[in-house]
């Protein structure tokens, strides 16, 4: 009988793929790793959130313990993606200037300690002067960040995992304990399933965006005077530009709303840097609806032993709407 041990990772979103790749770098000769998932990067289920993301990196200032934890995670991720964009363009990650224009900045944006904690690590970070933003903007910053072509990046991660000897299985689990039965000698299961198999604190946030052909050389986030947010995120490698977006907690409607599309494009048209040949109009490719996994209280990372006899372990990785592990910002 083989003494090889299999480590199972549940989920092939950006968290599952990134986790599996990281574990893969630390395997012993007697260990192998298997990703088990309902959806993989070749699928387009709206419940498979990762490929729908914009995606870009934008800090979210705050002073809570959760915000401090996520700031620390975000700094490490910023370093990782900055290096990846420089070393491997095929990953679908590109360094770019990011700007934020706020008409009515919330209190957390007016707290200098919050701003330093969230923004100071960013290359080229500086405040924008009044003559560098539209007149109605009360708070503006610019920094060097990155944007991600999410479908390309997810496929890139999966390709690396397989080329490194990883195995995959398309399978819909009913319970995470089932993963212990999918291969021989499974002692560890890492749950990167997003909604967490019945975790009462987990829920979905419906997001609707619009993919357009119009090019853009910066990723720009705009807070409107009524408190709503707009953004544009160019996707590298000719992936168009994402115009967004909405956040609708616990909304299960799978159908894109034409009214929402019109509102998103109308808001963005007020500040989008149109090229002359566009005539000031968006060239729409498609509407996008995705369900972001979210969790009250933020990310959950813990190990649970299910049997005192065999001591199998399941590691739970939860999600929060503003988490970014491996810190992809989900503005899609």
174 known member of a binding site? yes
**Percent of the chain surpassing pLDDT 70:** 91
The total number of residues written for the chain in this structure: 332
> Cα–Cα distance between 79 and 76 in angstroms, integer?
5
22, 26, 28, 32: CA torsion to nearest 10: 0
**Percent of the chain surpassing pLDDT 90:** 78
> Cα–Cα distance between 145 and 150 in angstroms, integer?
15
Give the per-residue pLDDT at 331.
Answer: 36
Would you call 242 exposed, middle or buried from its count of C-beta atoms within 10 A (0-12, 13-18, 19+)? buried
Kindly report the pTM of this predicted structure.
Answer: 0.90
> Cα–Cα distance between 212 and 241 in angstroms, integer?
5
Q: Are 182 and 298 in contact (CB under 8 A)?
A: no
Secondary element (H or E) of residue 70: helix 65-87
> Cα–Cα distance between 235 and 247 in angstroms, integer?
20
Give the per-residue pLDDT at 3.
Answer: 65
Domains and CATH numbers, the chain: 5-328 (3.30.9.10)
Query: Among 153, 152, 147, 264, which residue's Cα sits nearest to residue 208?
Result: 264
Would you call 317 exposed, middle or buried from its count of C-beta atoms within 10 A (0-12, 13-18, 19+)? buried
Q: What is the pLDDT of residues 233-272, one digit of tens each?
A: 999 999 999 999 899 999 999 999 999 999 999 999 999 9
Give the per-residue pLDDT at 318.
Answer: 54
Q: Are 53 and 150 in contact (CB under 8 A)?
A: yes
Q: What secondary structure does DSSP assign to 148-169, as a single string?
A: E-HHHHHHHHHHHHHHTT-EEE
Cβ atoms within 10 A of the Cβ of 190, count?
Answer: 25
> Residue 329: which pLDDT band, with cuts at 50, 70 and 90?
very low
Give me the mean pLDDT over the 144-153 stretch. Answer: 97
Provide the mean pLDDT of the chain.
Answer: 90
Give me the mean pLDDT over the 100-117 stretch. Answer: 94
Checking if the pLDDT of 326 tops 70, the result is: no
Give the per-residue pLDDT at 194.
Answer: 87
Query: Among 160, 159, 153, which residue's Cα sits nearest to residue 81?
Result: 153
Give the per-residue pLDDT at 195.
Answer: 84
Give me the mean pLDDT over the 177-206 stretch. Answer: 91
Q: Identify the three-state secondary structure at position 130.
A: helix
Q: What is the pLDDT of residues 32-65, one digit of tens each?
A: 999 999 999 998 899 999 999 999 999 999 888 8
292 known member of a binding site? yes
Secondary element (H or E) of residue 259: helix 258-269
> Cα–Cα distance between 100 and 315 in angstroms, integer?
36
Which residues lie below 8 Å from residue 78, measured CB to CB, with a gap of 6+? 57, 121, 122, 145, 146, 327
């Amino acid at each position: 009988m083989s003494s090889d041990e299999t480590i199972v990772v549940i989920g092939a979103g950006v968290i599952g793929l990134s986790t599996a790749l990281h574990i893969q770098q630390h395997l012993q000769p007697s260990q192998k790793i298997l990703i088990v998932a309902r959806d993989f990067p070749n699928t387009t289920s709206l419940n498979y959130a990762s490929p729908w993301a914009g995606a870009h990196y934008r800090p979210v200032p705050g002073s809570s313990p959760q915000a401090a934890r996520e700031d620390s995670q975000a700094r490490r991720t910023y370093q990782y993606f900055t290096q990846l964009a420089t070393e491997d363009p095929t990953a679908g990650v590109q360094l770019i200037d990011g700007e934020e224009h706020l008409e009515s900045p919330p209190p957390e944006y007016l707290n200098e300690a919050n701003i330093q904690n969230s923004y100071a690590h960013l290359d080229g970070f500086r405040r924008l002067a009044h003559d560098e933003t539209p007149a109605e903007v009360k708070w503006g910053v610019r920094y060097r960040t990155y944007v991600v072509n999410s479908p390309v990046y997810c496929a890139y991660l999966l390709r690396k995992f397989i080329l490194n000897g990883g195995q995959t299985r398309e399978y819909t689990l009913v319970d995470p304990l089932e993963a212990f039965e999918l291969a021989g000698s499974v002692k560890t299961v890492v749950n990167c399933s997003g909604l967490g198999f019945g975790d009462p604190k987990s829920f979905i946030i419906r997001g609707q965006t619009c993919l357009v052909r119009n090019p853009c050389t910066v990723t720009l986030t705009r807070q409107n005077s009524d408190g709503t947010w707009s953004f544009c995120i160019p996707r590298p490698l000719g992936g168009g530009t994402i115009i967004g977006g909405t956040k609708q907690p616990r909304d299960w409607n799978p159908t894109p709303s034409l009214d929402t599309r019109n509102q998103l494009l109308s808001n963005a048209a007020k500040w989008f840097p149109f090229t002359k040949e566009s005539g000031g109009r968006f060239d729409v490719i498609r509407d996008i609806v995705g369900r972001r996994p979210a969790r009250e209280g933020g990310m959950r990372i813990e190990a649970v032993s299910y049997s005192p006899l065999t001591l199998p372990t399941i590691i739970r990785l939860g999600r929060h709407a503003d988490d970014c592990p491996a810190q992809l910002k989900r503005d899609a």
